[in-house]
Amino acid sequence: MIPIPGNQITMDTKTQIRIWAKELGFQSVGFAKAEFMEPEARRLESWLNQGHHGTMSYMERHFDKRVDPTKLVPGAQTVMSLSYNYYTANQPTDPDAPKVSTYAYGQDYHQVIKDKLFLLLYKMRQHLGNIEGRCFVDSAPVLERDWAQRSGLGWIGKHTLLLSKKKGSYFFLAELIIDLKIDPDAPVQDHCGHCTRCIDACPTDAISPSGYIVDGSKCIAYLTIELKEDIPSSYRGKMNNWIFGCDICQEVCPWNRFATPHQEPAFEPKDELLEKSQSEWLDITEDVFNRLFEKSAVKRTKFSGLKRNIEFVSRK
């Protein structure tokens, strides 16, 4: 129990941290013991050995840090996992227009969420003492979905995304690895059951027939973002008009009927993005690209990469 400055109420540390996190816009917070991830290490090694990472050679680097948080934060005791909603019902007005994954509609989530993590860590230091720790938002060798599963935020579904019975899967994950010892939360049960909708719907067969393994080199998100070479012609007609990322496995997931619209202004799409027609996408210029995707994760592809993707999905 900790005293809360400014009043006489005492409150459980985890409850207070969750209140602070919610005030910053986070959906959920879970806690796990910072320790070596033995089963996850074996799975990651197998995934890499099968070449499922494609050209993402960075996945092979810092293996020890990916599976041991104390290599990232010496003396780490706890891994806090946090989720941040990005779901929106907004859709492009032209059904034939090329599509951008929902997570990239607004400003780049890396910076938006990391700023909030720093504020949360600052608040914790103010009230809980000199906590040593680091903030992570998909930008370091951290197995975020595995830590989120360990901390009880959800289970890893057959599409390998984290799923919550109450929230679906349209949320970002972030971590605080700290040297403060906090009682861990318990993992939750897998609720995918016999459902195979994500497996059946994937147009490139990236998800294994039994689920829970994705061949990243076949995933549309990989082909449109990570792959810097030409997209193999064998994928022509299979991209379903996606030019940056892909939401298909989320769109068909029954648990996403519980997703609710986010409340983050930074993630609101520009009207121009949703109103752009198929022909306007084909004629996009670099000036329009820079204006439309200023501060956006889409800038990862650069103009040349997005233009490549647009031209690829437009050829029949």
Catalytic positions:
138
Within 10 A of 42 (CB to CB), how many other CB atoms are there? 11
∠ CA 92-159-44, nearest 5°, is 130
Q: Which two tokens stand for residue 40?
A: 């996850």
Number of continuous H segments (helices) and E segments (strands) in the chain: 12, 10
Specify whether the CB–CB gap between 125 and 112 falls below 8 A: no
Please name the residues in contact with 272: beta carbons below 8 A apart, sequence gap of 6 or more: 292
∠ CA 271-276-277, nearest 5°, is 150
∠ CA 83-223-205, nearest 5°, is 85
E strand residue ranges, the chain: 2-3, 10-11, 28-33, 78-85, 99-100, 133-136, 155-156, 162-163, 171-178, 242-244
- The strand pair at 155-156 and 133-136 is best described as unpaired
